[in-house]
Structure 1
Amino acid sequence: MSDARTTSYRIRMIVALAIAILLALASFWLLDVMRRSTDDALPSVKRSDPDYYVDSFRVLRLDQRGKTRYRIDGERLTHNPQDDSHDILQPRLISLSDNQPPLTIRAERAHGNRDNSQVHLYDKVEMDRPAFATGAHLHMQTEYLLVLPDDEIMKTHLPVTLVSGTDTLTGTGMVANNATRTLHLASRVRGRLAPRPGS
């Protein structure tokens, strides 16, 4: 009698376990069907148009001490949600380094990545650095400039004109580092250097 009872108990446990497993599988199946039908009913929309814009804006980038490293101003900033980038009309970048005079870059338009570590400036790009104790006013013109604000580096592959005081340099392709005050012109370099006093 005890063997029959044990066998009966085991059969009931196996049946109960099988029913529980079937209910769990049915629940997962039902959840999957509901999720698929929701996905079909609500098609995913990939935005290609801007999701917001800001007029007459100013963005500040601070250093670890809370001092302004650089700022970006513009007439309109348009945000692109696909890659979290932004487009700027009439941008103006101003580098505010403690040990260097301010450097101002203007253009007709710009495109910046998510964190402004790369800013591409287009059309009538001009850069100005005022005269200071050891250097004359510096003016630069080109049609395209890649600015890496955190590294204080500017690059272009297009023709560029630099005027420093009475000296003029032209060339095609440039890499300039504002932090180290170095400049490299890649090709077709021409210069007109005024004689220094006393030479």
Structure 2
Amino acid sequence: MNKLHDWLDRLSLYLPVLLMGLLALATYWLVRSTPGLEHKAPAAVVKHLPDYFIHQFSIKTFDTRGQLKSEVMGREGRHFPDTDTLEIDQVHIRSFNIEGLLSTATARQALINSDASEVQLIGQALVERKAGIDKSGKEKADLTFRGEFLHAFMNTDRIKSHKPVELIRGPDRFTANSMDYDNREGVMLLTGRVRGHLAPTKKP
């Protein structure tokens, strides 16, 4: 009887250790048996595909006073939702700059952002500003830009190009490999191979 009592005493001492071991084994088994968390599938890549087309169209924008600010016309247009841009074939643009003078632009293709503040003219790009009197009463000569690429910033009245351009201002003519023209400041930066022809001014 004493031996049985001693054996039960020893068993009671090791019982917590045995229970802890069994609990650890059960936990390990549950971890191995539980399926892992499903990995979220990567977001689908948005493809550069048009979501709508327009043909033989005209889009007009107006200022806060209701005056015509610009008109964009094209043979065909495609809107791309991933970049929120409008790609236009055979584009023709009429716009009034901050001086109130009319400018026109044409190209084989144009890329216009969502608010029409930037216009990229691609292929036989031509921008012309007609001569006239600006809002301050100052006379402005004809101004023409030609090139395979012209980037117009409508809100800041600026035209840039990283490709060869030709500039004609009245009787004067310039060519360069790249250009940055700021109409507000009246500053033009021509870089690369710059050539110019300045016509003699007429005596008053």
What TM-score results when the alignment is normalised by the length of structure 2? 0.68
After TM superposition, list the pairs within 5 Å mapping 1:175-186 onto structure 2.
175-186=180-191
- Larger Rg belongs to: 2
Aligned Cα RMSD in Å? Answer: 2.6
The aligned counterpart of 1:97 is: 97
Per-residue CA shift, 1:128-185, capped at 9, x if unaligned?
1222252332222111111111222111011111112321111121112334443221
Alpha-carbon distance in structure 2 between the residues aligned to 1:170 and 1:65? 39
Alpha-carbon distance in structure 2 between the residues aligned to 1:101 and 1:150? 14
- Asked if the contact 2:98/2:157 (under 8 Å) is kept, the reply is no
Indicate whether 1:193 and 2:198 are aligned.
Answer: yes
Identity of aligned residues (%): 30
After TM superposition, list the pairs within 5 Å mapping 1:33-182 onto structure 2.
46=46, 48-97=48-97, 99-133=99-133, 134-182=139-187
Please tell me the residue identity of whatever aligns with 1:161: E
Aligned length: 160
Please tell me the residue identity of whatever aligns with 1:147: A
- Asked if the contact 2:93/2:105 (under 8 Å) is kept, the reply is yes
Alpha-carbon distance in structure 2 between the residues aligned to 1:196 and 1:116? 38
Please tell me the residue identity of whatever aligns with 2:183: N
Please tell me the residue identity of whatever aligns with 1:146: H
Alpha-carbon distance in structure 1 between the residues aligned to 2:167 and 2:49? 38
More helix by share: 1
What TM-score results when the alignment is normalised by the length of structure 1? 0.70
Alpha-carbon distance in structure 2 between the residues aligned to 1:194 and 1:129? 19
Per-residue CA shift, 1:80-108, capped at 9, x if unaligned?
12222121001122221363321111110
Alpha-carbon distance in structure 2 between the residues aligned to 1:117 and 1:109? 17
Alpha-carbon distance in structure 2 between the residues aligned to 1:72 and 1:178? 21
Gaps of 5+ in 1: 1-35
- Asked if the contact 1:47/1:81 (under 8 Å) is kept, the reply is no
Per-residue CA shift, 1:27-48, capped at 9, x if unaligned?
xxxxxxxxx9xxx9xxx79554
